[in-house]
Amino acid sequence: MPSTSTIKDEALALGFDAVGVASVAPRSSSDQEPSSRLLPHLHERLRSWLARGYHATMTWMGRDPDRRSDPRRVLDGCRSVIMVGMNYDTGHRAEERHGMGRVARYAWGRDYHLVLGERLAALSERLNILAPGHRHRWYVDTGPVMEKAWAEQAGLGWIGKHSNLVSPQHGSWLVLGTILTTLDLDPDIPGTDLCGSCSICIKACPTGAIVEPYVVDAGRCISYLTIEHRTDDIPDTLAHRTGNHIFGCDDCLDVCPYNTQASATSRPVFAPFAWALQPSLDQLLTWTESEFRSRTIDSPVRRAKHQGWQRNLRMAQANESARSASAAELTDPR
């Protein structure tokens, strides 16, 4: 059977920047590994979050939480979770001039679902060769798996107060992939929370979506509002606070000290599209639905669909007009 170190070597050779392993269940009845307490903790945390309605209109999050919080219900006989990550920070900086929108950094280039999916499929094939008779199932942010919790358990980092993973080496600029496997692998040491007393990410959230440390109300989150919320009925109190964000939001990440220290990737796989770095609101509003589809091939931005994209652009324009009017009033000498 392959060792954890062998699997890590295979993953790194395929282009992943981080890889770790977590055990799904204790290896014996007397085993006191953290994994023996993790599953009940995940289940309780997910149930509490759902009960507070923080999943908003994302009804799929509430389907079968028992399964979502226990990989053994997803892959029968699952013993280990292999977590991988890729650094998507290319070192570019968004254009912040007047008339420009803002796209979340992970969506500047090729869709990470495709980038990681290709590599996870290849790694899964390697596992089939190295461990015949064992079963594996991989996901990129689309399966009933609590990726960030397992990434923390696998030692890739810790879940910060903004609820995103923080890696000591890569900050929060990691996109994650998961392989559930029946292999009984030696686990890594779980990540240690290094947030301390820092709460800068909570203060930076424009909509107050981080309702308490480590808890996000998705219904108030700009990423949710500009991507997953499918209608135009965004309350004015929230719409006015979305600023120039037209797809996702990095505000809580941009201020994190660990992200300001992280190094950019040297791989060109996430190289940004020009329109994502310089998203002119006026120009993007002229895109027809067919243009939107052709220009966003292989882009995560497609998730918002043309209708949501147009809505986001109009909100950003309205917010910019309001800011301009407010600034004019402040400088008016009368």
**Token representation of residue 246:** 């037209």
Parallel/antiparallel/unpaired status of strands 245-247 and 102-103: parallel
CA–CA dist 99, 320 (Å, integer)? 8
Active-site annotation holds for 17 = no
CA–CA dist 107, 22 (Å, integer)? 28
Query: What amino acid is encoded at 202 in this protein?
Result: I
Q: Please tell me which residue in 9, 66, 111, 141 is annotated as part of the active site.
A: 141
Question: Phi/psi zone of residue 276: left (φ > 0), alpha (ψ -120 to 50 degrees), beta?
Answer: alpha
Cβ proximity of 210 and 202 under 8 Å: yes
Sort 44 into a burial class: Cβ within 10 Å, 0-12 / 13-18 / 19+. exposed
Handedness of CA 102, 106, 107, 109 (dihedral sign): positive
Active site positions, annotated: 141
